[in-house]
Structures are given as C-alpha cells and as structure tokens.
Amino acid sequence: MATGIVNNGVTHDLSALFSSDGRDFLVRNNGDQVKISSLKGKTVGLYFSASWCGPCHRFTPKLVEVYNEVASKGEFEVVFVSSDTDNESFNGYFSKMPWLAVPFSDADTVKRLEELFEVSGIPSLVIIDSNGKVSTEDGTSIVIEHGGDGYPFTRERIDFLKEQEEAAKRNQTLSSILVSTSRDYLLSKDGNQVPVSELEGKTVGLYFSVTSDDSCLEFTTTLVDVYNTLKERGDKFEVVFLSLDDEDEEFKQGFETMPWLALPFKDKNVEKLTRYFELSAIPTLVIIGPDGKTLNPNVAELIEEHGIGAYPFTPEKISELAEIAKAKEEAQTLESLLVSGDQDFVIGKNGSKVPVSELVGKNILLYFSAHWCPPCRAFTPQLIKTYHDIKAKDDAFEVIFISSDSDQSSFDEYYSSMPWLALPYGDSRKKHLNRIFKVEGIPSAIAIGPSGRTVTKEARNLVSVHGSNAYPFTEEQLKHLEEQDEEKAKGWPEKLKHDLHAEHELTRTRRRVYSCDACHETGYKWSYYCKECDFDLHPNCALEKNEEEEKDDPNGKEGWVCEGDVCCKV
C-alpha cells in the first residue's frame, strides 16, 4: 500500500487554515461552536467527504471507530470538509459524525481547502501533525489498513507497524493469529468457548466467507462434506469461520450450517487477518499447518476441483495435483468438457437438443457471457459477425454460449440475439467449465480444437483484434497474422498530426492494450500515441480519410459528435 506520507516542509497555521472573515470557530452536529484555537497541538484529520458518495458511507463508520478510540486521549481531532450540495444533506450526514466541521455555509473555505490539498476524489483524509505539517495525504488507506494502531499516522509509525507485521509473519503461530488481548477462545455452534490451544498441532483452515454470497454458499456445502469425511477418518483438521457479514443475523444464519468453530461476530481479528492474508477473493480458505505456519493462502479452488483429494494441502500434494491436472488437460476431449452423466447435449435456437457427439471434430468456441454485463453486450455483435464470416468459409465451426445470467427470462432474451448453440440456463456443467478454464471475468471466449484440446483462452481478444482472420486461433495462424501486421505497419507514418489531438504529434507505438480515444473501443499492439497526454488512436482511426468528414459543416463534421473538448464518432 502506498501511504502517501509526505514531508513538504510547509507548516500550516490551523487558525488561518480553517477560519474566514468573521468566523474563528468550527461546529459540532448539535450546533455548538468550537474555537479553532482549541486544535493547537493536536493531530488533525481533514475529512473530505459527502453524503452522496457511496465509498464515503462505507469509510465513515470505520473512521468513527478510530476517532472514538484515539480522540479519548485528547490528542486527535477530525474536521469534516463537506462536498454536499445542500444544507439538509450536509446536516443528515454530519449527524453521524462525532467530530467537528467547517460550517456548510462557508463554501469559500471548503473550496480553498480542496484546492490547497489538491483533493481529486473522496473520501480523502489529510492528516496534519501536532506541529502543523502534513504527515500523510492518504489517511483513508492507513485507517483502513491499520485502524487506531496507525495513530499518529506518521511515516515512522507506519514503518514500525509494517516491521511488526513482517516479524509476526516470520514468527507466526496459531495463537499469534487467533488470540487477542481480550480473547483466547473460539466459538462452537452451541455457543461454548473452545480454547485456541486445543487446535495446536492440527491443520487449520481459516474460512473467510459471506453468508449471502452464492459462491460462498456453494463452497460451504462442499467444505462441509470434506470436513465431515476428514473428521470421520480421524484426521487432525479443523476449520475456523471468519465472517465478513455485515449483520449479526447473517452471521448466525451462516454459522448454523457449519459444523466447525468461529471467531465471534465482528471480532477485531477478522479485519486484522483480512489484511494480514491480503484477502482478494471470497470464498477463501487459508491453510495453517500443524507448526502454525501458513501452508497455502487459499485452497478453495483446489477443494472445489479435487474435494478431499486436496488434503493435507502441502506443497507436495499441490505438486501432485498439478501433475494430475496436466495429465487431464493433455487427455482433454470435447466429451470430457461437455458430457456429465445424462447431460450429453447442448441446445439449439429452436430448443432442440444437439448431442455433443455431433460436435466432435469441430473447432468450438466456448462463449462465457451475460445479458447484464455491458462489455458482453458490446462484444456479442462483433462475435456474431465473426461467427457468420467463419461459418461462410468453414462449417466445421461452432460457438456455445455459457450463460451467467441471473434468471431464465434474461437468458432467453439474450440468447435470442445469438445464432449459435448454448448450454441450458442453470446447467451444472457451467461451474465445471468455469473451474477448468479459471474464468474470472466475462466476456471470455475459449477456443477448443478438433481434438478437444484447448487452443487458446484468449479468443475474445483475438476476435476483437482480428475478427474472423484469427480463425482457427492457433499459434501458426497468429504468427501469420503477426507477420502481416508487421508488414502493414511498415507502410504507416512514424508520426502524424490528428484533429482530435492537435496539441502534440502522435507517434506509432507498440501498446499491449489501450482504449482508443476516437472510437472508444479496445485496441491492441499498435497505437498512435501521445505519451505526455496518455492519448491513443487505433491506426485505422488515425489514418482513415473520409470524404464526408472533409466537408465543412457549421454544426461540426457529419458522423461525429462533440462532447466537451473531444469529438467522437457517432
């Protein structure tokens, strides 16, 4: 995390900072006036926030918690600098804050503070130390990561906390993870307190989950089966539930379905361990070995794929599973991907069942998409055109739509626009395919060759760049296209000027991926680029000449629309 800690040498006089003509006070939410001079010698946080801001609403309760913890010592104060647009919104939001504020009526001071501290987004928390110097401009991140422990939010304090954290990881034990100053126990389902010491010497899974999340619900069922089987055969394995739920009722509802232990709801260690293990997804099951050290930061995917076969989650077992997965991939067929019990078909446009056996030997594109997803809806028309172009030259090609839609009607509406095949809505094979291909975002397109082996997982990008020319998506075809592109690029000017970016020349530049500032579509490989302004144009957008565009038009060029200081194609 970048702490944003600065030392620009500027000393701020708090009276000059917060006062205005005729006002030498700040206000509380009950209307009381507090002299600005009372802030002298304190660490002060300038909290730039607003009632209309979602992230602000999520951060404010955390800041309240830290404020109540630290301000009781009399050394810390927060001043709310509001970006609200009306007094009623300001008052409603400020009523939830235990600190001071610049009066809503003093818009000039608010604007001056925003400009002085170059506030470009909210929530923003600027910390000024007891000497009047800025110690950090990124107090939000420090509060989120360290809570009250981050006080007084100086570079030295943050460095100290990081050193402590690194030392804790080096000397990690089960107790150092799960025991706090106020608690040395875990909760069982019946409400009993189980000493953490009873788990010493066991393999322990720390289960981060949200009760209402569908993926967590599904994984909990799988994990319960694995847990019960390991318990029945006498393995020394335990699970501890770390709830990320917002409400106590949700925590209780989730814990009722679990046969293992849990940290108390809203226990401070949950938030601490979320940061400690750098949680990036749910569900997450962190594995702590019998020696108290971290064996694996997340085995949820391994358990979904291998079940009890993933136990005991050691590096040796992971290597063994990787070899098994590699062997499966090498033996992959279309049937192994799409046939599961009596589910041996896909559906056609008229609802007919098409046996998977009829697709064997064809080039197949598995298209993961959903109606609710704007990038999917933008890409689908391009894929439809590509599909028709490929089918015109090779009928041994098919696309299979794998839906992430939330209901049958959305699936039906979306699929009605597509000319290809599909898995039925809600088909259990979707989860199997998501796991095999590790689909983490949509739209995604996976190319399967005539042998049933995976050709590429990047077919979406290839269609975006090359259309039907990318077919059959093999390395040989891509190498051929690469050679064509290199030859084509030789005929392009190295530099050019363009009306959409008259300030600077644009340079022909290799760019891995970018968004074209003319057509706003994603571009790959080549761009006409201004590094100074981070401005990109597709070569086609930069080089094309259209006679209609060259005609004078008092309302602008036909076929374009001007928005602000940028003209874009309609």
pLDDT in tens, 225-252: 999 999 999 999 999 999 999 899 999 9
Specify the pLDDT at position 166: 85
Please compute the mean of the pLDDT values over residues 92-103 and round it to a whole number: 96
Considering the entire predicted model, what is its pTM?
Answer: 0.60
List phi, psi (to 5°) of 164.
-60, -45
Distance (Å, rounded) from C-alpha 134 to C-alpha 71? 19
Specify the pLDDT at position 432: 87
Listed range (31-45, 73-87, 431-445, 508-522) with the worst mean pLDDT: 508-522
Q: Which range marks the domain in which residue 338 is found?
A: 334-475
Q: Is the same domain home to 191 and 316?
A: yes
Whether residue 561 has pLDDT greater than 80: no
Question: What percent of the chain is modeled with pLDDT above 70?
Answer: 94
Q: What is the pLDDT of residues 249-262, one digit of tens each?
A: 999 999 999 999 99
Specify the pLDDT at position 59: 93
Distance (Å, rounded) from C-alpha 43 to C-alpha 134? 10
Q: Is the same domain home to 109 and 48?
A: yes
Q: Is the same domain home to 255 and 273?
A: yes
Residue 381, judged by CB atoms within 10 A of its CB (0-12, 13-18, 19+), counts as: exposed
Contacts of 308 by beta carbon, 8 Å cutoff, 6+ apart: 225, 226, 229, 230
Specify the pLDDT at position 240: 97
pLDDT-based confidence at 155, cuts 50/70/90? confident
Q: Is the same domain home to 340 and 468?
A: yes
Whether residue 177 has pLDDT greater than 70: yes
Please compute the mean of the pLDDT values over residues 482-502 and round it to a whole number: 86
Using the 3D structure, point to which of 163, 187, 206 is the last residue of a domain: 163
On average, the pLDDT of the chain sits at 89
Residue with tokens 């056996």: 357
Whether residue 215 has pLDDT greater than 90: no
Listed range (3-17, 39-53, 203-217) with the worst mean pLDDT: 3-17
Whether residue 550 has pLDDT greater than 80: no
Specify the pLDDT at position 567: 31
Q: What is the pLDDT of residues 111-145, one digit of tens each?
A: 999 999 999 899 999 999 999 999 999 899 899 88
- Assign 205 to helix, strand or coil: strand
Q: Is the same domain home to 154 and 29?
A: yes
Specify the pLDDT at position 1: 36
List phi, psi (to 5°) of 547.
-60, -35
Please compute the mean of the pLDDT values over residues 84-92 and round it to a whole number: 94
Specify the pLDDT at position 519: 85
Q: What is the number of other CB atoms lying within 10 angstroms of the CB of residue 370?
A: 19
Distance (Å, rounded) from C-alpha 255 to C-alpha 242? 10
Torsion angle of the four alpha carbons 90, 93, 99, 101, in this order, in degrees rounded to the nearest 10 = -10
DSSP code of residue 263: P
Q: Is the same domain home to 187 and 316?
A: yes
Return the higher-pLDDT residue of 548 and 348.
348
Whether residue 5 has pLDDT greater than 50: no
Q: Please indicate, yes or no, if residue 553 is contained in any of the structural domains.
A: no
Q: Is the same domain home to 341 and 203?
A: no
pLDDT-based confidence at 8, cuts 50/70/90? low
Q: Is the same domain home to 469 and 520?
A: no
Q: Please indicate, yes or no, if residue 560 is contained in any of the structural domains.
A: no
Whether residue 3 has pLDDT greater than 60: no
Q: Is the same domain home to 227 and 351?
A: no
For 136-156, the three-class secondary structure string (H helix, E strand, C coil) is ECCHHHHHHHHHHHHCCCCHH
pLDDT-based confidence at 483, cuts 50/70/90? confident
Q: Please indicate, yes or no, if residue 446 is contained in any of the structural domains.
A: yes
Q: Please indicate, yes or no, if residue 557 is contained in any of the structural domains.
A: no
Q: Please indicate, yes or no, if residue 549 is contained in any of the structural domains.
A: no
Specify the pLDDT at position 271: 85
Q: Is the same domain home to 181 and 316?
A: yes
Using the 3D structure, point to which of 298, 324, 350 is the last residue of a domain: 324
CATH number, domain containing residue 454: 3.40.30.10
Q: Please indicate, yes or no, if residue 409 is contained in any of the structural domains.
A: yes
Q: What is the pLDDT of residues 438-480, one digit of tens each?
A: 888 899 999 999 999 999 999 998 998 889 999 999 999 989 9
Return the higher-pLDDT residue of 180 and 10.
180
Whether residue 556 has pLDDT greater than 60: no
Specify the pLDDT at position 9: 61
Question: What percent of the chain is modeled with pLDDT above 90?
Answer: 66
Listed range (6-15, 142-151, 175-184, 207-216) with the worst mean pLDDT: 6-15
Whether residue 506 has pLDDT greater than 50: yes
Q: Please indicate, yes or no, if residue 532 is contained in any of the structural domains.
A: yes
Whether residue 555 has pLDDT greater than 50: no
Distance (Å, rounded) from C-alpha 253 to C-alpha 209? 12
List phi, psi (to 5°) of 60.
-55, -45
Please compute the mean of the pLDDT values over residues 346-351 and round it to a whole number: 90
Whether residue 566 has pLDDT greater than 70: no
Using the 3D structure, point to which of 296, 324, 352 is the last residue of a domain: 324
Contacts of 344 by beta carbon, 8 Å cutoff, 6+ apart: 335, 338, 355, 356, 357
Q: How many domains does the chain have?
A: 4
Distance (Å, rounded) from C-alpha 159 to C-alpha 155? 6
Q: What is the pLDDT of residues 368-421, one digit of tens each?
A: 999 999 999 999 999 999 999 999 999 999 999 999 998 999 999 999 999 999
Specify the pLDDT at position 381: 95
List phi, psi (to 5°) of 211.
-55, -40
Q: Please indicate, yes or no, if residue 551 is contained in any of the structural domains.
A: no
Q: Is the same domain home to 98 and 213?
A: no
Distance (Å, rounded) from C-alpha 530 to C-alpha 77? 45
Q: What is the pLDDT of residues 266-316, one digit of tens each?
A: 898 898 899 889 898 899 999 999 999 999 999 998 998 889 999 999 999
Q: Is the same domain home to 196 and 275?
A: yes
